[in-house]
Amino acid sequence: MRTPEELIKAIVAEQGEIKDVFLTACGGSLVDLYPGYYFINAESETMHSHWLTAKELVVSPSKFLKKGALVILCSHGGNTGETVAAAKYAKECGAAVITMTHNPESICAQEEMNPIVYSWEDSTNEKDRPQGIVMRILNELMKMQEPSYTKYEAILDGLEKADGIVRAAVKKVQNRTWVFAEKYFEEPFLYIMGSGASYSQAYGFSICSLQEMQWMDCCYLHSGEYFHGPFECTDEDHLYILLMGTGAARVMDERALTFLEKYAKKYEVIDAKELGIDAIDESVNEYFCPMLFYAMSVAYRTGLQDKRRHPLDMRRYMGVVEY
Amino acid sequence: MRTPEELIKAIVAEQGEIKDVFLTACGGSLVDLYPGYYFINAESETMHSHWLTAKELVVSPSKFLKKGALVILCSHGGNTGETVAAAKYAKECGAAVITMTHNPESICAQEEMNPIVYSWEDSTNEKDRPQGIVMRILNELMKMQEPSYTKYEAILDGLEKADGIVRAAVKKVQNRTWVFAEKYFEEPFLYIMGSGASYSQAYGFSICSLQEMQWMDCCYLHSGEYFHGPFECTDEDHLYILLMGTGAARVMDERALTFLEKYAKKYEVIDAKELGIDAIDESVNEYFCPMLFYAMSVAYRTGLQDKRRHPLDMRRYMGVVEY
């Protein structure tokens, strides 16, 4: 199997210039693709990026889904119906595909899918997990395609450092996650906020870690949008988790924090700066915050699982009934 | 003041070809811009579209925000800080702007903003409200720029018919909104689902009509994503509102309905087909569903207001305290 770097070089050699990058999947895999989308949006002068659920790629396809487009997909189990259909459709349209999966026996791992089969062990390095792989692909692509791109080395350095930062942060928050679960395990509802590249993790924390794995009701909010409606719900009884990222978007998280400090009583701040993300160059570390926040969502949901006695792997519908 | 049609013609005459359309605002105004974003994404072969909160446009600007870009903004009160800043920044970058506002005395109504001051009375026609204005602008732009564009007349026809459809639907659901409020006014939490162009109204229904105007906790979901996590919360105690649109995205809403019919007990279906959207040509009526759903959210929130005795205009923070 080719490395992500080999794969993107081969695709560019064959396809020529990439003009559009589509990042598409479902649920938790879709979450993992958002930082790459945000990165291309913010950095590229030659490529547009698109982030959407795999079904929508097929039912309402962009006319830029054609030769010159790169479609990056991800399906952990490798047989997600919508994702497989999106990959096939993208190929029919003339686009190049790269498909990440954890399952080497799956449809997504077939050679025609340009597969990257990733490992998913506790010991797996962050740069070898989907979020890291996407950054490796897109960093190479930016370097090949844009002579003015200056962040290549900083991203490579970030990819080397990310795993250590994440592991240290997981240790650091262990006790906090227990205390959080102890205080809030019976909470009927909470809001989770984030912005920038990390908005994806507010979404993923909500739909995967809590709604799916804990059957806990919650809602994701964009920290910037909080002030244009959702903040009217804030009071001393409502619970919030605020993901504070870095980079230019951080001002939105800081504004939300100031508001929560004044008007809320129950809120948990998960601050990438405090958790060591600054060891990565500040010109790019915002793109690595989502990796860190994903690990934090795992830590917090594990705390909740133990206190609530609700196994993370328990499902009543997914993989259990027909739908 | 120039009409939307005159304005876009003047901009294209001055700027030449439009390559990127940015639709940006905050909160409820951002919601109104989504159908235009979705329309360009689905229909255009010459333009990319972008939809994002106004603050993010400024803190993390696309490199395509330059000459050749059109930025459409909206601020009901006309002085929203982030939106005004985004308009000014876009102009500095060389992009053309069009700014919609209801307030003729506001910053957004100043001549340099290329303003469209819209009326917002009960009698205001849908084509003269922000969602209608955006469709008028983009329909003209598509006609000017893409010789192969075939939906111009169908969109014009839809713009003529929309107001009548919406008014008839509002009458039709009056009793349903009372019954909904009677049954569910004490519900602690609900989920609101939609997809396609109408995903925006699941978002707006949640953050504006319920979180802001009723201080009711809720969460918006994409009907397609529902099956990749959030559906694990579904049971006979959870309340759902499902917005069923038209067009190719409808299959996702139908799948959600089938699931709710089987596993939920409390759900309200608001179906654009049943409410008359089919009077508009089926090649374009999906773009008009969000107008209809907005009117439905007003009808339902009014029912809730009356039963809950929570005035829609009551605020504890917005316009009341500093933040």
Confidence of residue A296 (pLDDT cuts 50, 70, 90): very high
Helix (H) or strand (E) holding B6: helix B4-15
**Residue A1: predicted pLDDT:** 80
Tens-digit pLDDT profile for residues A131-178: 999 999 999 999 999 999 999 999 999 999 999 999 999 999 999 999
Contacts of A223 in chain B (CB under 8 A): none
Residues A49-74 have pLDDT tens digits of 999 999 999 999 999 999 999 999 99
> Cα–Cα distance between A50 and A52 in angstroms, integer?
7
Within 13 Å of residue B317, how many CA atoms lie on the same side as its CB? 20
Inter-chain residue contact A207 with B228, CB threshold 8 Å? yes
Using the predicted structure, report yes or no on whether residue B133 has a pLDDT greater than 90: yes
A53 to B225: CB separation less than 8 angstroms, yes or no: yes
Architecture of domain A4-145 in CATH?
Answer: 3-Layer(aba) Sandwich (3.40)
Topology classification of domain A175-308: Rossmann fold (3.40.50)
Average pLDDT, chain A: 98
pLDDT at B171 over 90: yes
Do B247 and A60 make contact, defined as CB atoms within 8 angstroms? yes
Where in chain B are the domains?
4-145, 176-308
Q: Which of B20, B50, B225 sits opposite A207 (nearest CB)?
A: B225
Q: How far is B202 from chain A (nearest CA, A)?
A: 13
Report yes or no: B259 and B234 within 8 Å, Cβ to Cβ.
yes
Q: Distance between CA B294 and CA A247 in Å, rounded?
A: 35
CB atoms within 10 A of CB B114: 24
Residues in chain A: 323
Question: What is the CATH topology of the domain spanning B176-308?
Answer: Rossmann fold (3.40.50)
User: What mean pLDDT is predicted for residues B129-156?
Assistant: 98
- pLDDT tens-digit series, residues B270-305: 999 999 999 999 999 999 999 999 999 999 999 999
Average pLDDT over residues B115-138: 98
Average pLDDT over residues A283-310: 98
pLDDT at A261: 98
Query: Is the pLDDT at A219 greater than 90, yes or no?
Result: yes
* C-alpha span between B70 and B47 (Å, rounded): 10
Q: Can you tell me the mean pLDDT for B99-121?
A: 97
- Residue of B33, B207, B216 best to disrupt the A interface, most CBs of A under 10 A: B207
Contacts of A41 (CB under 8 A, 6+ apart): A49, B50, B60, B62
The average confidence (pLDDT) of chain B is 98
Residues of B in Cβ contact (< 8 Å) with A48: 20, 48, 64
Q: At how many degrees (to 10) do helices B130-145 and B152-184 cross?
A: 160
CB contact under 8 A, B55 and A208: no
Contact (CB<8Å) B249/A316: no
- For residues A17-41, b (16+ Cβ closer than 10 Å) or e, as one string? ebbbbbbbbbbbbbbbbbbbbbbbb
Between CA A126 and CA A120 the distance in angstroms is: 10
Q: What mean pLDDT is predicted for residues B169-178?
A: 98
Asked if B37 contacts B49 with a C-beta cutoff of 8 angstroms, the reply is yes
- Rounded Cα distance, B58 and A157, in Å: 27
- pLDDT of B56-78, one tens digit each? 999 999 999 999 999 999 999 99
Nearest to B25 by CA among B94, B109, B91, B84: B84
pLDDT at residue B1, rounded to an integer? 81
> What is residue A190's predicted lDDT score, i.e. its pLDDT?
98
* Mean pLDDT of the A215-232 span: 98
Band of residue B256 on the pLDDT scale cut at 50, 70, 90? very high
At A253, the amino acid letter reads D
Domains B4-145 and B176-308 share a fold: yes
| C-beta atoms of A252 and B44 within 8 A | no
Percent of chain A with pLDDT over 90: 100
- pLDDT for the residue A38: 98
Distance from CA of A75 to the nearest CA of B (A): 11
Q: Which residues contact A55 (CB under 8 A, 6 or more apart)?
A: A26, A82, A85, A86, B224, B251, B252
* Residues in chain A closer than 8 A to B212 (CB atoms): 228-230, 232
Nearest to B56 among A28, A220, A249 (CB): A249
> CA torsion, points B62, B24, B148, A21, in degrees to nearest 10?
40
Nearest by CB to B189, from A44, A56, A217: name it.
Answer: A217
DSSP secondary structure code for residue A210 in this structure? I
Determine the residue among A29, A56, A192, A206 to mutate to test chain B binding: the one whose Cβ has the most chain B Cβ atoms within 10 Å: A56
How many other C-beta atoms can be found within 10 angstroms of the C-beta atom of residue A206?
27
